[in-house]
Amino acid sequence: MRRPQGYLIVTSERGVIEHDTITCSHCNQIVMVKAGSADTVYYLPQMEGPPKEEAGAFCRQCMSSICLSCLKEGRCYPLERRIEEMEAKGRLLRSVGL
């Protein structure tokens, strides 16, 4: 990936694992990505052995990277929009005295 958003370091009895990361804009999940790849390639951790590589996902509606779970869901519902809806609902409830 050309411009990752973060960096992950995991220390365990098997050693140190380091990966670039992105954050899914729909659910806020952190996803490990392959460093230096022109296309986005996700690393899926495995119980044993090296991580599995999967093609990354991108939402064309909100123009941001998403995780594979949100890709399967098939709709654009970003976390930012969910938070705005919750805040609007809270303002409405406060305005009517609830």
Examine residue 15 and state whether it is found in any structural domain, yes or no.
yes
Domain that holds residue 90: 6-95
- Indicate the average pLDDT of the chain: 87
- Whether the per-residue pLDDT at 40 is higher than 80: the answer is no
Distance CA 37, CA 66 (A): 17
Tens-digit pLDDT profile for residues 50-87: 788 889 899 999 998 899 999 999 999 999 999 999 99
**Does the predicted TM-score (pTM) go above 0.75?**
no
* Domains identified in the chain, total number: 1
Where does the pLDDT of residue 38 fall: very low under 50, low under 70, confident under 90, or very high at 90 and above? low
Helices (H) and strands (E) in the chain, counts: 2, 7
Which residue type does 9 have?
Answer: I
Distance CA 4, CA 2 (A): 6
Examine residue 1 and state whether it is found in any structural domain, yes or no.
no
Examine residue 30 and state whether it is found in any structural domain, yes or no.
yes
- So what's the pLDDT on residue 39? 67
Distance CA 80, CA 18 (A): 28
